[in-house]
Amino acid sequence: MEYNFRDLEKKWQQQWKAAGIYKVSADPAKPKCYVLDMFPYPSGAGLHVGHPLGYIASDIYSRYKRLKGFNVLHPMGYDAFGLPAEQYAIDHGIHPAVSTEANIANFRKQLDNIGFCFDWDRQVQTSDPSYYKWTQWIFLQLFGSWYDRAQRKAVPVSSLLEAFAQAGNEGRVCPGDPNLRFSAAEWTGFDERRQQEILMHYRLAYCGFGEVNWCEALGTVLANDEVVNGVSERGGYPVVKKKLRQWYLRITEYADRLLEGLDRIEFSEAMKEMQTNWIGKSHGAEIEFMVVSSELPVGSEKDADTDKVTADKTIGKFFDRKLRVYTTRPDTIFGVDFMVVAPELEWIPAIVSPEQQNAVDEYIAYVKSRSERERQAEKKISGCFTGAYAVNPFDGRKIPIWISEYVLAGYGTGAIMAVPCGDDRDFRFARHFNIPITNILGDAYNGEQANPTKDARLVNSGFLDGLIMRDAMAVVNRKLEEMGIGTPKVNYRMRDAAFSRQRYWGEPFPIVWRDGIAYPLDEKDLPLELPHVEKYGPGPEGEGPLANVKEWTDKHLETNTMPGYAGSSWYFLRYMDPHNEAAFCSREASDYWGQVDLYIGGTEHAVGHLLYSRMWTKALFDLGYIGHDEPYKKLVNQGMIQGSSRFVYRIELKGAQGSQGVEELSRRTPVFISHGIRAMEGTVEFHELVTLAVRNLFGDNSIEIDSIAISQLHVDVNIVDGLELNTAAFKKWRTEYERAEFVLEDGKYICGTEVEKMSKSKFNTVNPDDLVAKYGADTFRMYEMFLGPVEQSKPWDTKGVEGVHRFLRKLWRLFYDEAKGKIWTTDKPTDAEWKVIYRTVKKLDEDTERFSFNTGVSALMIGVNELHDLKCHKKAILEKLLIIMAPYAPHVCEELWHQTGNTGSILTASYPLVEEKYLVESAMNYPIAINGKTRTELNIALDATQQEVEEMILADETVKKWLDGKAPKRVVYVKNRMINVVL
């Protein structure tokens, strides 16, 4: 009986399906375990070998936990709304719902091939109205709530209405407009419009205005992804910033709780750091400066009594507009040499001097064409003086106000005070524009480099002179507050999340507009279904495609749709109760399943999905809909499987005088040169070699080549073996290469190679289906795990898959022999055999528990090898092996489980317990190092004392040789580890 993986895998997949063995339901008698994958976006390209990496890991863990007696929830679904399907629709006229369905069917087929234990009855699909009904419903909860800073939680907006009517907004700072104050009487006096406007400034989901990438030529808003080098990816048209009405989520209100929550969840330190940096909490001060139109004469600037500047109308005028800056270093205020303001702030024109007008206009136009990324990544320093000055409130010094692209309007107040002696970027800016630098650091500043220290003693700093900078902060802050021109402030780098898209393929907002006021739809009107359209082009004025739908606009429905992350912000809850028509998830279900115990997915979601879903969870918790406020207990980040691209090199020839036909020839007959030959490009040998080869190819010795151009082309990795191109397959790959000729090295065509993102356009994708067909699902699963740690990124290489396949056959041969047939027995195992199996059980248990699947596979290989060496074919031993291996290779283990006379699925077996008595050792081979370098080994009892060890060591020949008659300085003896002799 042989290992016929194709038949047995198919057989078990069918039987498992028929038996509904992966169906799971809440069972209070068992401990629960919720294992979740980041659900895929069903792209048209299908699944490539990178996708299943995380799925296999989670599948193994789920099966493992199930064997350990847990009730395991392990669902799967599709994140089905998104831009690619819409773009495909625009290009091909196929409705996104249609292409998405087809893609999902394909994904499902591919996933099923691999033998996952998903409970498909719980599948969710974000684009399904029965699902997005609840996305809309949650949106309405966010719209209907505000964040009460006093209680530190979200509460219904209705609570505001009562409070406002009684006490105005006293004690309820308006997050959207912090300076807003009104009394109860004022509130009741406001009309509906004003009241709604104010409420909007409180809501967790609110409407505001924001800048988008606007492409006039395409008449549409573009994603950052679709903008390359400042122009549209499609067509290369100019892209500018445009202000549009947008929806936002007030995630900034949750900033502190998102930070604190990190202490209670198991994310990697790197992930926590990324989220922490993204939230970017900083302590500092907001300071207000007077703005003046021209320089004040030296010596007249300060009023000695108040330390304030008084206006002198003859030499310049003060503007009404004050300059507010946010700084984390108020202690450096005497070192401020210039101010920098974000170029897009709308009040800039009001302060620009006539002389600077043109320069400023030009600069603003330039910045408008630049993306935020470009602005921050730019190494070249740019900026423009406005002609206006701020006035230092303490010494009256006039400070030039500049605009520069590196300051962003969205952060802090959109303006900074620049202290060149203490900040590197400010320093370089000052140097570049020849702005004089004030030294407030004394010796700590060398004039060559900024010094960002907080520990220097301040000089040139008026009333702060002599103070250590870190101590000076509180002093300045107190003074600023006294003078009423500054307040200590906690700032966050994180901005509110833009929550609307001018697109078709997303969830419609359950919002209707009346007289410019947004009203929520009634819950009973959900879902608000996406209308069917024939055309997917944008609407007028940068609106989404829904603005073209008459029935939609007639009802004054919101024409924006929700972004891709809306559906993924709560899907983990829907899995718990996927068919509930009365609620997004019953409290009973969410209380039972609770947090996701293990979440597996890529780091690319570090600051997007993983923050949004945490916020939604917190909001739902605050409102009492669920009982936990962090969605994920533990997160494991799978590495990205990159593609290993292969290249061929086509040459284009220019003939010398008398060989004009060569160009034509090389156009008609594509000639490819091997990688090693290309590497010689530019040398005389190269030219000669190619000439010779071309003469041979075309049978014409008179050919003279003038110049050779080489173009590098991606070639399908699947027709390359290692680096060697299968030239016959290459000719069949594309009709234009049918007549291709090759210039080989050592008789082979060697391809160039590069590690890149796996993508269809780079022809470096490897389809799991092909591997499963060739080696079986079990081999594929184990091979993906064996590649390396799940967390690590690596380029895909199919090369080692044979080894894993061989291992599975070797396992099979423990049970069946090709010639003899059945060889497994019911004999009683020896101690040595027990030792092997228990050691394997123990190691695999530890490895699986810590997600070290690659070493887990290795442990299984070692176990099987050792059992082979022992010629162990005993059922009692092998059965245990099958159980622990079943999570990794479920099909073959299930088959052998039944072959050895077991009834019932191996899935329901229970995990073997280790009998430690077989593993106890009394001695070990200690490595003996001399000065840290291992020189020999000695077998020493584990309970040996320091003295016994020293005696043994000193008697050893090798040690004696190294000691050379001298006594050792020291003998380091670490029990169970090693012994080091220090000379």
Partner RNA sequence: GCCCGGAUGGCGGAAUUGGUAGACGCGUCAGACUCAAAAUCUGGUUAUCGCAAGGUAGUGCAGGUUCGAUUCCUGUUCCGGGCACCA
Instruction: Please name every residue paired with 713 in a beta bridge, in sequence order, or none if there are none.
Output: 648
CB 868 within 8 A of CB 878: no
* Alpha helices for 550-672 (secondary structure H): 550-554, 565-568, 571-574, 587-593, 609-622, 661-668
Q: Binding to RNA by residue 512, rule CB under 7 A? A: no
Query: Least separation, in Å, of the C-beta of 639 and RNA?
Result: 8
Query: Least separation, in Å, of the C-beta of 376 and RNA?
Result: 4
In the region spanning residues 646 to 665, those forming contacts with RNA, defined by CB under 7 A, are none
Stretch that binds RNA, among 5-13, 133-141, 529-537, 844-852 (CB under 7 A): 844-852
Q: Binding to RNA by residue 212, rule CB under 7 A? A: yes
Q: Is 600 left (phi over 0), alpha (psi -120 to 50) or beta?
A: beta
Distances (CA, A) of 353 to 248, 301, 310, 766: 36, 21, 21, 62
Q: Which of 174, 929, 944, 963 binds RNA (CB under 7 A)?
A: 929
Stretch that binds RNA, among 142-150, 338-346, 372-380, 874-882 (CB under 7 A): 372-380
For RNA, which is the closer residue by CB, 899 or 958?
958
Burial class of residue 813, CB neighbours in 10 A (0-12, 13-18, 19+): middle
Q: Which of 14, 166, 183, 224 binds RNA (CB under 7 A)?
A: 224
Q: Which of 508, 564, 752, 887 binds RNA (CB under 7 A)?
A: 564
CB 601 within 8 A of CB 232: no
Q: Which of 315, 409, 498, 713 binds RNA (CB under 7 A)?
A: 498
In the region spanning residues 432 to 461, those forming contacts with RNA, defined by CB under 7 A, are none
In the region spanning residues 716 to 775, those forming contacts with RNA, defined by CB under 7 A, are 755, 757
Q: Binding to RNA by residue 789, rule CB under 7 A? A: yes
Query: Least separation, in Å, of the C-beta of 167 and RNA?
Result: 33
Q: Binding to RNA by residue 372, rule CB under 7 A? A: yes
For RNA, which is the closer residue by CB, 636 or 653?
636
In the region spanning residues 604 to 633, those forming contacts with RNA, defined by CB under 7 A, are 604-608
CA distance 649 to 321: 63
Q: Which of 304, 377, 684, 967 binds RNA (CB under 7 A)?
A: 377
Side-chain-side CA neighbours of 710 within 13 Å: the count stands at 19
The 10 Å CB-count burial string (b at 16+, else e) for 309-323 is beeeeeebebeeeeb
Query: Least separation, in Å, of the C-beta of 910 and RNA?
Result: 23
Cα 624 to chain center, whole Å?
30
Total site size for RNA, rule CB under 7 A: 103
| Short-list 538, 542, 734, CA closest to 650 | 734
Query: Least separation, in Å, of the C-beta of 795 and RNA?
Result: 7
What DSSP character marks residue 829? P
For RNA, which is the closer residue by CB, 392 or 561?
561
Secondary structure of residue 605 in the 3-state scheme: helix
What DSSP character marks residue 303? B
For RNA, which is the closer residue by CB, 152 or 806?
806
Stretch that binds RNA, among 306-314, 412-420, 731-739, 933-941 (CB under 7 A): 933-941
Q: Which of 208, 442, 488, 927 binds RNA (CB under 7 A)?
A: 927
For RNA, which is the closer residue by CB, 71 or 560?
560
Residue 10-49 contact track with RNA, rule CB under 7 A, x = bound? ------------------------------xx--------
Cα 757 to chain center, whole Å?
14
Query: Least separation, in Å, of the C-beta of 88 and RNA?
Result: 12
For RNA, which is the closer residue by CB, 405 or 597?
405
Q: Binding to RNA by residue 494, rule CB under 7 A? A: yes
Contacts of 550 (CB under 8 A, 6+ apart): none
In the region spanning residues 277 to 306, those forming contacts with RNA, defined by CB under 7 A, are 277-278, 280
3-state helix, strand, coil split of the chain in percent (to 5) is 40, 20, 40
Contacts of 194 (CB under 8 A, 6+ apart): none
Stretch that binds RNA, among 81-89, 283-291, 467-475, 893-901 (CB under 7 A): 81-89
In the region spanning residues 794 to 813, those forming contacts with RNA, defined by CB under 7 A, are 794, 797, 799-800, 802-804, 806-807, 809-810
Residue 603 one-letter amino acid:
T
What DSSP character marks residue 381? -
Tokens of 859: 């442990």
In the region spanning residues 230 to 269, those forming contacts with RNA, defined by CB under 7 A, are 244, 246, 269
Q: Binding to RNA by residue 381, rule CB under 7 A? A: no
Tell me the angle at which helices 5-19 and 890-899 cross, rounded to the nearest 10 degrees: 90
Q: Binding to RNA by residue 515, rule CB under 7 A? A: no
* Alpha helices for 114-179 (secondary structure H): 129-143, 158-167
For RNA, which is the closer residue by CB, 380 or 524?
380
Q: Which of 493, 634, 654, 731 binds RNA (CB under 7 A)?
A: 493
In the region spanning residues 92 to 131, those forming contacts with RNA, defined by CB under 7 A, are none
Query: Least separation, in Å, of the C-beta of 840 and RNA?
Result: 12
Q: Binding to RNA by residue 967, rule CB under 7 A? A: no
CB 401 within 8 A of CB 339: yes
Query: HEC profile for 654-693?
Result: EECCCCCHHHHHHHHCCEEECHHHHCCCCCHHHHHHHHHH
For RNA, which is the closer residue by CB, 167 or 942?
942
Stretch that binds RNA, among 588-596, 713-721, 826-834, 924-932 (CB under 7 A): 924-932
